[in-house]
Structure formats: structure tokens, C-alpha cells
A = this chain, B = another copy of it.
């Protein structure tokens, strides 16, 4: 291992419904290793635990470090959970992993102390520590994927909430009358308008209403996704353009709600949907400039996340560092 990395070191693991990513991260947030493997979530929590352990061991091996050089393990997981107790409650993306004491089981199997964090909080902390939020004191991040996750870092601390429901930013209500139904079953949530799933659904509704668009061919071919909608928009398809423009407006409304609540230095958008390129970001910024209060509108930086799919395990490692390393001092990193 090169001496360019700085001790102490932490193992970060990002548990997803489909894949597990893991890596060893140094004290400045730089990964020494990065591996990925399937979660096999449907085979239940015991197999899942085996797979987490395998991912963690392979990540440490790939780093060239020995286990006694690992100061702690951070695990990011989808909720619902009890962060404080290290417990998964009943995560929709990990069906059957109910009341599962994942933190302590993982710590025991790896022989290393561990912390649990919500995956979107961990990804936000990764960006705050080592990514696009590096210069910020306070930060809000929206993670745009199948659903919409969120993370809030205020003065170096993750706002995880007293019931582990902090920063569930996909589930703020932006349309209280006749709101769209969200994947969670409630109505009018941001996620019900601006997630990748919602974007595809809105496209289908417009096509059902008879709008003519190149998106119909994608629908017929089973290739209608957030990505193909964005590509059609870039190629000038007017329905796709409108859908992307509306998406930017919805996200701007979410951003403004957080600017008028947390008032952070920076708001980041991450997740798969930002692959759609700079136009979405520009449109979000333009909407925010119109509807936020003048002072935060002028000063709040709005940007894309920069760590991509590595934000989760890097941030999870950062959560271990918050507890056992030099990251715990409120604002230091």
C-alpha cells in the first residue's frame, strides 16, 4: 500500500437491495479499495449477512491492510431502521430482514466494532466529507433513483432524527390537494413526482392521453426509462422536454423547502438521475432562483454530487470515523 494514504482507516459497506459495495477508506475520505457483489436479499438476512461479511473481507484484502489496521466498520442500509440500536425494522428493499440486529451481527462476524446508518444519510455524509460538499459547513442532499432519498449534515452532524426518520426528503408534501400517490402509499410527496419511477409514470400518462412522442416507441419496446426520456429530451422531443422541465421544477420546490428549513451552504443532487447531464441542474437552479427567498437564492450553491456510486461506502466509513476517529468534533473532518 502506498504511503500517500493517511491512517486511521475505516471499512465502509453500502448495502443495497441488489448489490453490496464495500471499500477501505483513509482518514481523508479516499478509498484504498472498492469491491461489489450481489446482496441476494431475497435469500433472507442470514445469507445477506454472509454476503456482507464476504464483501467486507474482500475489501480489506484488496486494500492491502490487515484487520488490526481497521479502526471501525460503517454500514449504510436502506430503512426502516433503528439507527441507535443498530437494528433493521422492516426495510421494503430487504423483504424479510425484520427486527434484524444487523450492526452487532456484522461486528461479531468481522471481529470489528461497527455503526449503522441510513444509506442516503451515509451517501450524503460521503459527499460532505470527501465529495462535492467538501467545502460546506451544512449540506442537504437529494438522492434521485427509483425513489428519492435524502441526507442533511448540519455543522458536521448527520440529522438522523430521533426515530431514525431524519431527512426522508422524498416524503415531504409538496402538493396537498389531489397529490399523486407515492410509492409509500401517501399522497403529494416529492418522490411521487420527481423520482425516476414517477417520471416514467408521468410519461405513460401523457402517452395514454394521446400525446405524440418518440417515447411511444420506447414504451412499446419496454425501454422507457428516466434515461431514455432524458435522451429524447436532448434530441428535442417536446413531451420529453416538458417532462424533464417539470421534474426540474419539482426538485426545485423540494430544494426551496429545505433552503427555508435548514438553509444550508449547499444543496446537492445525486443518484442515477443526474446522469441526465447538466441541463436538469441548470433548470433546477433557474427555478430555485425564482421561488426561494432572495438571500438564500443568491448564496446557496446548488450542484450535482461528485462521488457517484462510491458515496455510500465512503460515507459509511465516514460514519465510523465520526464515532471512533477525528471526525466526531462537530464540524471537523
A residues within 8 Å of B by Cβ?
80, 89, 137-138, 150, 152, 154-155, 157, 159-169, 171-177, 184, 186, 249-250, 253, 256-265, 291, 293, 295-296, 299-300, 330
Closest Cβ of chain B: how far from A309's Cβ, in Å?
25
Q: Which residue on chain B has the smallest CB distance to residue A299?
A: B163
Residue of B nearest to A82 (CB): B295
Contact of A175 with B177 at beta-carbon distance under 8 Å, contacts A257-B257, A261-B167 already known: yes
Residues in chain B near residue A265, CB distance under 8 A: 162
Contact at B260–A168, with CB atoms within 8 Å? yes
Cα A133 to Cα B183 with chains together (Å)? 33
Contact B253 A173 (CB under 8 A): yes
Bound together, the chains give a CA A163 to CA B257 distance in angstroms of 15
Residues from chain B with a CB closer than 8 A to the CB of A258 are 261
Report the Cα distance A298→B218, complex, angstroms.
44
Q: Are B165 and A263 in contact (CB under 8 A)?
A: yes
Majority-rule SS of A interface residues: loop
Among A137, A160, A171, residue most surrounded by chain B Cβ atoms (within 10 Å): A171
Bound CA span A155–B168, Å? 19
Query: What are the 8 tightest A-B residue pairs by CB atom distance, in nearest-first order?
Result: A161-B263, A165-B263, A168-B260, A166-B263, A172-B257, A171-B260, A162-B265, A165-B296
List of B residues within 8 angstroms of A250 by Cβ: 176
Extra contacts, 4 of them, besides A161-B262, A172-B260, A184-B293 (Cβ < 8 A), are A165-B260, A168-B261, A175-B175, A176-B253
Contacts of A330 on B, CB cut-off 8 Å?
Answer: 330
A167 partner residues in chain B, CB cutoff 8 A = 261
Contact B293 A162 (CB under 8 A): no
- CB atoms of B291 and A165 under 8 A apart: no
A140 nearest in chain B by CB position: B261
- Known contacts A154-B154, A173-B174; A293 and B168 CB within 8 A of each other: yes
A160: B residues at CB distance < 8 A: 263
When distances are taken between beta carbons in the complex, the residues of chain B under 8 Å from A174 are 173-176
Residue contact A171 to B293, C-beta cutoff 8 Å: yes
B291 touches A163 (CB 8 A): no
Residues of B within 8 A of A172 (CB): 172, 257, 260-261
Residues of B contacting A300 in the complex (Cβ-Cβ under 8 angstroms): 162-163
- Minimum CB–CB distance from A268 to chain B (whole Å) comes to 14
B184 x A162 contact (CB < 8 A): no
Complex interface: chain B residues within 8 A of A80 (CB): 295
Name 11 A/B residue pairs within 8 A (Cβ), A-sorted. Answer: A154-B157, A155-B157, A159-B263, A161-B296, A163-B263, A163-B295, A165-B260, A165-B295, A167-B261, A169-B260, A257-B257
Please measure, in the bound complex, the distance between the C-alpha atom of A259 and the C-alpha atom of B163, giving whole angstroms.
9
Nearest residue (CB) in B for A173 is B253
Do the beta carbons of A162 and B186 come within 8 Å of each other? no
Of A80, A184, A257, A261, most B-chain CB atoms within 10 Å: A261
When distances are taken between beta carbons in the complex, the residues of chain B under 8 Å from A152 are: 261
How far is the CB of A147 from the nearest CB of chain B, in Å? Answer: 13
Smallest beta-carbon distance A234→chain B, Å: 26
